[in-house]
Amino acid sequence: MNRQASIAAQDYTIPLQPIERPVSFDPLPPTSLTQWWRGVADRHGDRIAVITDARETHYSDLDAQSAALARGLLALGLGKGARVGIMLPNGAEWIAAWLAVSRIGGIAVALSTFASPGELRYAVQHADCAVLLTANTYLGHDYVAKLVEAFPALVKRQNGSPILDPDCPYLRRIFFNGAAPDWSDGDLAALAAGAVDFGDAMLAAVETTVAPSDDALLMYTSGSTANPKAVIHIHAALVDKIDRLARMKTIIPLGTGPDDRMLISNPFFWIGGWIGMTVALDAGASIILEDDHSPRATLDAVRRHNITQIGGTPGLLGSITQLPDFRPDDFASLRIQNTSQWPFFCQAEGKPASRYAAAIGMTETIGPHSGYWYAGELPDGLDGTMGPPLEGMEFRIVDPDTGAICANGTPGELQVRGIWVMDRFYKRLRNETFTVDGFYPTGDECTMDGECRIWFHHRLGGMIKTSGANVSPEEVEFALRSIEGIIESAVFPVSDAKAGQIVAAAIVKDRSSDIDEPSIKQRLRPLLSAFKIPKIFRFVDRDDLPRTPSDKIRRVEVAKLFNEGRL
Residue 197 has pLDDT above 60, yes or no: yes
Alpha helices in 104-163 (DSSP H): 117-127, 143-150
3-state SS assignment for residue 63? helix
Domains and CATH numbers, the chain: 3-17+250-351 (3.40.50.980), 33-210 (3.40.50.980), 368-459 (2.30.38.10), 464-563 (3.30.300.30)
pLDDT at residue 127, as a whole number: 98
What is the rounded CA–CA span in Å between residue 404 and residue 408? 13
Return the bridge partners of 547, or none: 553
The mean pLDDT value of the chain amounts to 90
Position 521, amino acid: K
Using an 8 Å Cβ cutoff, are 45 and 60 in contact?
Answer: yes
pLDDT at residue 353, as a whole number: 66
**pTM reported for the whole predicted model:** 0.84
- The lowest-confidence range among 201-215, 344-358, 434-448 is 344-358
Provide the percentage of residues in the chain whose pLDDT is more than 90. Answer: 69
What is the rounded CA–CA span in Å between residue 544 and residue 100? 40
Which of 368, 369, 373 minimizes the C-alpha distance to 357? Answer: 373
Highest mean pLDDT among 138-142, 197-201, 232-236, 491-495: 232-236
Encode 250-308 in three state secondary structure: CCCCCCCCCCCEEEECCCCCCHHHHHHHHHHHHHCCEEECCCCCCHHHHHHHHHHHCCC
Residue 10 has pLDDT above 90, yes or no: no
Residue 548 has pLDDT above 60, yes or no: yes
Q: CB within 8 A of 40, min separation 6: which ones?
A: 59, 281, 282, 284
Highest mean pLDDT among 197-201, 337-341, 427-431, 554-558: 427-431
Residue 15 has pLDDT above 60, yes or no: no
Provide the percentage of residues in the chain whose pLDDT is more than 70. Answer: 93
Give the pLDDT confidence of 253-301 residue by residue, as tens digits: 888 999 999 999 989 999 999 999 999 999 999 999 999 989 999 999 9
What does the pLDDT average to over 228-236? Answer: 96
For every residue of 338-388, DSSP letters joined together read: SGGGHHHHHHHHT--GGGB----EEGGGTEE-B--SS-SBPPTT-TT--BS
3-state DSSP: the chain helix, strand, coil percent, rounded to 5? 35, 25, 45
Cis peptide before 253 (omega within 30 of 0): yes
Give the pLDDT confidence of 148-170 residue by residue, as tens digits: 999 999 999 987 889 999 999 99
Residue 201 has pLDDT above 90, yes or no: yes
What does the pLDDT average to over 542-546? Answer: 92
455 or 4: which carries more pLDDT confidence?
A: 455
pLDDT at residue 115, as a whole number: 86
pLDDT at residue 518, as a whole number: 96
What does the pLDDT average to over 84-101? Answer: 98
Q: Sorting pLDDT into bands at 50, 70 and 90, what band is 18?
A: very low
Residue 6 has pLDDT above 60, yes or no: no
What is the rounded CA–CA span in Å between residue 452 and residue 415? 12
Which of 342, 409, 351 minimizes the C-alpha distance to 371? Answer: 342
3-state SS assignment for residue 245? helix
Which of 268, 283, 275 minimizes the C-alpha distance to 237? Answer: 275
Residue 21 has pLDDT above 70, yes or no: no
Residue 306 has pLDDT above 70, yes or no: yes
Give the pLDDT confidence of 317-331 residue by residue, as tens digits: 988 999 999 998 999
